[in-house]
A = this chain, B = another copy of it.
Amino acid sequence: MEELKVFCPATIANVSCGFDVLGLALAKVGDEMTIKKTREPGITISKIEGQDLPLDTDHNVAGVAAKALLQQLGDSYHGGFDIAIHKKIKPGSGIGSSAASAAGAVAGINQLLDHPFSQTALVRFAMQGEKLASGVAHADNVAPAILGGFTLVRSYEPLDIIKIPTPSLLYATILHPQIEIKTADSRKILKTSITLQSGIKQWGNLGGLIAGLYTNDYELIGRSLEDHIIEPIRSILIPGYDIVKQVALKTGALGVGISGSGPSIFALSKGKETAERVAEKMYDNYDTIGLEFDMHISPIASQGVHLI
């Protein structure tokens, strides 16, 4: 293959009790990326549609991630790759815009090269893109973007990523308020210590959530989608968060949380109809606030970056 076009899914990181470890990929929200083999060595980005982002590969997450992959290939590959990105995910939305670009670039190139790298290796390359975007080489968005479904980042040293099964009726509803939260701010307000009691609640809930995902137990998933540690702190940065959460839960959502470090709010529901009803109610409610916002409804993606 000389050229391919891939879908690069948007992702939700910090899924409630899974702060910093649990993420998921969306099937219907994501970027598109066209990658071509080139004779000239190295990476070029020839076009970015939809957003005003740098074409310079040292200042673009897709470029940085792709270069990390090329560097690992070393002398065994003499050509290069050109990337054209159609950004559909808004940067700063909290649904993994940078991760989609980084993941798409490395997973796409890996496919063009007939899969020399494992998925964990690809995550490692894509993490370099995340480092450019946020200063931290975190994996909670790039892991689900590459592997699909739910992923657990058990450990960073060594990098240990576990794909968790996704119940087929699970849908995400996302409300993205068009406000900017600086990553630095959303980090700064976190406490460096937590009570042991809240920690115990959190790992009890994460255990319940993982069990619910393995057994398609939607009620257990719902009971486990709680976060007593991060949500109470970060939600104050998101106007209308508490009200919209209550509305979504009342309408039948299994759980509601902050996507990544916000500002997007996500709800998980059993079945498309419930997810749509939840979206309607969230919409009606948020509309009264007067802020601009986007909404998405999507099943959880069973696969990560893939050919289209």
Partner-B contacts on A (CB < 8 A)? 17-22, 152-155, 160, 162, 164, 190-197, 199-208, 210-211, 214, 220, 223-224, 229
Contact in complex: A202, B199 (CB < 8 Å): yes
Taking the nearest CB of chain B, how far is it from the CB of A225, in angstroms? 12
Picked from B21, B191, B220, the residue with its CB within 8 Å of the CB of A200 is: B21
Contact in complex: B19, A200 (CB < 8 Å): yes
A96 vs B207: C-alpha distance in the bound complex, in angstroms?
22
Measured between beta carbons, the chain B residues less than 8 angstroms from A200 are: 19-21
Taking the nearest CB of chain B, how far is it from the CB of A150, in angstroms? 10
Contact in complex: A155, B229 (CB < 8 Å): no
Centre residue among A162, A203, A206 by max chain B CB count within 10 A: A203
Measured between beta carbons, the chain B residues less than 8 angstroms from A194 are: 193-196, 199
User: With A206-B206, A207-B152, A214-B211 known to touch, is A162 a contact of B220 (CB < 8 Å)?
Assistant: yes
Measured between beta carbons, the chain B residues less than 8 angstroms from A193 are: 193-196
- A sample of 23 inter-chain contacts (CB < 8 A) reads A18-B207, A19-B203, A20-B200, A21-B200, A21-B204, A22-B207, A154-B207, A154-B208, A154-B223, A154-B224, A155-B201, A162-B207, A190-B196, A191-B196, A193-B195, A194-B194, A199-B203, A199-B229, A202-B203, A206-B206, A207-B207, A207-B210, A210-B210
User: With A162-B220, A224-B154 known to touch, is A196 a contact of B192 (CB < 8 Å)?
Assistant: yes
A21 vs B154: C-alpha distance in the bound complex, in angstroms?
18
Contact in complex: A203, B201 (CB < 8 Å): no
Contact in complex: A229, B196 (CB < 8 Å): yes
User: With A160-B208, A162-B208 known to touch, is A199 a contact of B199 (CB < 8 Å)?
Assistant: yes
